[in-house]
Amino acid sequence: NAGVMQNPRHLVRRRGQEARLRCSPVKGHSHVYWYRQLPEEGLKFMVYLQKENIIDESGMPKERFSAEFPKEGPSILRIQQVVRGDSAAYFCASSPLRSEKLFFGSGTQLSVL
């Protein structure tokens, strides 16, 4: 069991481009969480998804950001028209049930030039 897999590890985009971050949860886990870590700050919750459903998106910026967790395949965090302020480490976590402990991926470091 490889744990939570995130790719790419590093992603460089120019302003205005799209960024797509992928997260494959632990096999058998149906709950996925995305967090963002800005420099000098802690982990900020973005969105919580269960297969094909968004459970809590209270931490998602209203524009340009979207997330999905389809029935088949990884969860995707999509950022359209990236800006420099989107540069951060994005972490994905999964759990088998709603209130179980979270297993984290290694993160994707997004750099916007």
Partner 1 sequence: AQRVTQPEKLLSVFKGAPVELKCNYSYSGSPELFWYVQYSRQRLQLLLRHISRESIKGFTADLNKGETSFHLKKPFAQEEDSAMYYCALRDNQGGKLIFGQGTELSVKP
How far is 101 from 105, CA to CA, in rounded Å? 13
Closer of 13 and 94 to partner 1 (Cβ): 94
Tell me which of 64, 104, 109, 111 binds partner 1, using CB under 8 A.
104
**Binding string, residues 38-77; x marks residues near partner 1 by CB under 8 A:** ---xxxxx--x------xx--x------------------
Where does residue 89 rank: exposed (0-12), middle (13-18), buried (19+ CB within 10 A)? middle
Q: Does 105 interact with partner 1 (rule: CB under 8 A)?
A: yes
